[in-house]
């Protein structure tokens, strides 16, 4: 059997400097230290540690497959040590996403989010990793639709015969915990009917239809459904594979030339205009936002992230680019417009989604005063 390579992005909010906006250096350093040790001991082949706002993101490349207990334990132990540090620094909401105490072989259902993809390396395998802060699990629905199903976004759907059969989307119903596979272009309208409601349906995987080649995988944690109450937003990550019969990197990035709305932002309770940013601006400031997304491009080569001679992984900070200035500008304009509406919908999320916030406690006060009308 051909050797396979696994890309794992496992993320967790272990606490932030000054509110909920950024992962400070001592926490990133713990990620770096732990993963370096794991590389030395051969658990992973190499890695890259970064942050999406207040979420610590561990990008690891290894040969152990998806949902591997050793990889998940490595992430869990890293987040646990980082939480200790965050607690000692009295960072805000230290250990916030570690919802359970005892590790049981997987981070799934424990609070951290995981996007993972096992691939058989092609001759060249360009990868894009996205990670968002102040956003919910469905934040990738819209761009994944544009990338893999919309011929007005992805020229390859029209021009490249290798993409002719279209793509299959796995959609997760996060409420019922059921999933369905929908094929585009044939079932495009049905797909939109589902994933147009990102709070209920999230795209979890995408395959090329003609040969079931895996080409996208996203984290689908619903923190509020694990905890039964508001404990922060999911802040998802997504891995996308590019080129040679798949959308080009430029087609994968094209949906982000404009801002679009995601659920999250302040207190996880508002629609917010997504702002694609470079790593240096991966900090959610204004009204804890606007929701931000970073995008990293790299190659996997022989089980590793392709790296320089000194071992430094070659990572391209994709949104650190003037081509996304318009989207950033739109995001600020739209943020200001929404904030003018204060706590009136559609600035605030719908009643149903608000059930998973702290608003119930506020309304509790009026409960006994309601009379039949
Ligand atoms: P590939 O078909 O080799 O991926 O080339 C497409 C491309 O990069 C155009 O931008
Ligand atoms: P996070 O889930 O990113 O920590 O955000 C929490 C919050 O309440 C922001 O206002
Ligand atoms: Mg966050």
Give, for all 373 residues of the chain, the pLDDT tens digit: 678 999 999 999 999 999 999 999 999 999 999 999 999 999 999 999 999 999 999 999 999 999 999 999 999 999 999 999 999 999 999 999 999 888 989 999 899 999 999 999 999 999 999 999 999 999 999 999 999 999 999 999 999 999 999 999 999 999 898 999 999 999 999 999 999 999 999 999 999 999 999 999 999 878 888 888 877 789 999 999 999 999 999 999 999 999 999 999 999 999 999 999 999 999 999 999 999 999 999 999 999 999 999 999 999 999 999 999 999 999 999 999 999 999 999 999 998 888 778 888 888 999 999 999 9
Residues whose CB is less than 8 angstroms from the CB of residue 312 and which lie 6 or more positions away in sequence, other chains included = none
- Is the CB of residue 127 below 6 angstroms from any atom belonging to ligand 2? no
Separation between Cα atoms, residue 307 and residue 313, nearest integer Å: 4
Cβ(248) – ligand 1 distance below 6 Å: yes
Report whether 297 contacts 316 (CB < 8 A): yes
233 is catalytic: yes
Ligand 3 geometric centre to CA of 368 (Å): 36
Q: Report pLDDT for 250.
A: 98
The residues, any chain, with a CB within 8 Å of residue 254's CB and separated by 6 or more, are 146, 147, 153, 154
The per-residue pLDDT for 254 is 98
Count of other CB atoms within 10 angstroms of residue 312: 11
Question: Does residue 15 line the site of ligand 2, with CB under 6 A?
Answer: no
The two three-digit tokens of residue 287, written as one number = 């009204």
Rounded to the nearest angstrom, the gap between the alpha carbon of residue 217 and the centroid of all alpha carbons in its chain is 10
Question: Would you call 310 a catalytic residue per the annotation?
Answer: no
Distances (CA, A) of 283 to 127, 176, 218, 247, 262: 24, 33, 21, 29, 17
Ligand 1 atom nearest to CA at 245: 2
Residue 22, classed as helix, strand or coil, is strand
Residue 243 near ligand 1, beta carbon < 6 Å: yes
- pLDDT given for residue 65 in this prediction: 98
- From 15, 86, 99, 288, the mutation candidate for ligand 2 (largest count of ligand atoms within 8 A of CB) is 288
Instruction: Strands of the chain (E only): list them.
Output: 5-12, 46-52, 55-62, 113-119, 125-133, 167-173, 178-184, 201-208, 213-218, 237-241, 261-264, 270-273, 275-276, 292-301, 304-305, 316-317
**Residues in contact with 257: Cβ distance below 8 Å, sequence separation at least 6, in sequence order:** 323, 324, 326, 327
Tokens encoding 323: 């081509």
* 13 catalytic per annotation: yes
Catalytic residue among 47, 48, 230, 356: 230
Atom of ligand 2 nearest to the CA of 284: 3
Whether residue 105 has its Cβ less than 6 Å from ligand 1 = no
Cβ proximity of 55 and 75 under 8 Å: no
- What is the token pair recorded at 105? 């072989």
Assess whether the C-beta atom of 118 lies below 6 angstroms from ligand 2.
no
What is residue 230's predicted lDDT score, i.e. its pLDDT?
77
**First vs last C-alpha separation in the chain:** 70
| DSSP conformation class of 307 | B
Distance 235 CA to ligand 3 centre (A): 5
pLDDT at position 357 is 83
Name the residue with tokens 């392709």: 306
Q: Ligand 3 (ion): which residues have CB within 5 A?
A: 13, 54-55, 133, 235
Q: In this predicted structure, what is the pLDDT of residue 1?
A: 67
Q: Token pair of 23, please?
A: 């992962």
Any ligand 2 atom below 6 A from CB of 133: yes
pLDDT at 56: 98
pLDDT of residue 251: 98
Residue 190 dihedral angles phi and psi, to the nearest 5°: -65, -40
At 318, is the secondary structure helix, strand, or coil?
coil
Q: For position 220, what pLDDT does the model report? A: 85
Which residues, at least 6 apart from 20, have a Cβ–Cβ distance to it below 8 Å? 13, 53, 54, 92, 93, 134, 232, 284, 288
Active-site hit among 133, 168, 233, 235: 233
């Amino acid at each position: 059997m051909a050797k396979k390579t696994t890309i794992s992005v496992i993320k967790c909010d272990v606490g932030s400097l000054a509110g909920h906006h950024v992962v400070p250096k001592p926490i990133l350093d713990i990620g770096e230290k732990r993963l370096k040790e794991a590389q030395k001991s051969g658990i992973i082949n190499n890695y890259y540690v970064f942050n999406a706002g207040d979420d610590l993101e561990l990008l690891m490349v290894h040969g152990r497959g998806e949902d591997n207990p050793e990889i998940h334990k490595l992430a869990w132990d890293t987040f646990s040590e980082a939480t200790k540090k965050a607690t000692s620094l009295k960072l805000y909401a230290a250990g916030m996403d570690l919802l359970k105490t005892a590790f049981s072989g997987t981070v799934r259902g424990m609070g951290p989010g995981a996007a993972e993809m096992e691939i058989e390396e092609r001759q060249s395998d360009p990868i894009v990793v996205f990670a968002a802060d102040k956003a919910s699990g469905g934040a990738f629905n819209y761009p994944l639709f544009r990338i893999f199903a919309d011929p007005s976004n992805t020229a390859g759907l029209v021009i490249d015969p290798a993409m002719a059969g279209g793509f299959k989307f796995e959609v997760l119903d996060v409420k019922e915990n059921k999933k369905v596979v929908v094929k585009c272009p044939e079932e495009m309208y049905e797909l939109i009917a589902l994933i147009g409601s990102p709070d209920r349906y999230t795209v979890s995987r995408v395959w090329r239809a003609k040969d079931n080649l895996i080409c996208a995988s996203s984290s689908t944690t619903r923190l509020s459904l694990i905890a039964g109450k508001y404990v922060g937003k999911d802040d998802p990550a997504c891995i996308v594979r590019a080129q040679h019969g798949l959308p080009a990197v430029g087609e994968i990035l094209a949906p982000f030339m404009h801002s679009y709305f995601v659920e999250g932002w302040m207190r996880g309770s508002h629609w917010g205009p997504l702002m694609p940013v470079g790593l240096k601006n991966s900090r959610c400031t204004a009204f804890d936002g606007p929701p931000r997304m970073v995008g990293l491009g790299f190659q996997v080569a022989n089980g590793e992230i392709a790296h320089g001679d000194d071992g430094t992984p070659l990572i391209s900070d994709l949104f650190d680019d003037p081509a996304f200035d318009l989207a950033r500008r739109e995001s600020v304009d739209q943020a200001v417009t929404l904030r003018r509406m204060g706590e009136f919908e559609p600035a605030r999320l719908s009643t149903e989604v608000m059930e998973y916030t702290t608003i119930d406690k506020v309304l509790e006060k009026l409960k006994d005063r309601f009379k039949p009308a």
